Structure formats: C-alpha cells, structure tokens
Amino acid sequence: MKSLTEAQENLLRTLGFPVALENLDDAELTRIEDALSNEIQTHGINETSNGLNDYGELCRSCIIALPD
C-alpha cells in the first residue's frame, strides 16, 4: 500500500479515523469510504456542479488509497 500524504492523514484524523489503514477490517474500511463519499457529496462538489473541488479531490484520493 502506498503511504498517505500529510493532507490525506489530516483529513482522516479530522473525520475521526485512523491513518494506519493496513490492519483495518472490511467493515471499518467501508465505514471510512462511506464517510468520505458523504463528504464529497456534501462539501466536495465545485460551484458549477460538474466536478469536484479541491476538498472533493482530497476525499477521492483518500478513497483510492484505501486497501482493497
């Protein structure tokens, strides 16, 4: 697994999640993914509603970094 950036770690901590993702079970990873998806939907859409803003891109990058 590739390491998280400082911005990704800060976001996960802000949302109350651990940054050591490799030993989490599927339920916890799903909970993190669901929370990040919710953040994208509520705060991550750009002003023209046709893509993600910087915060949305950060959330998306965290989802991509989650272990399979």
pLDDT tens, residue order, the chain (68 aa): 568 999 999 999 999 999 999 899 999 999 999 999 999 999 999 999 999 999 999 999 999 999 88
- Interatomic CA distance for residues 7 and 14, integer angstroms: 10
Q: Are 36 and 24 in contact (CB under 8 A)?
A: no
Cα separation values, 21 from 4, 54, 59, Å:
10, 23, 15
Supply the pLDDT for residue 2: 65
Contact call for residues 21 and 3 (beta carbons, < 8 A): no
**CB-count burial class (<10 Å; 0-12, 13-18, 19+) for 62:** buried
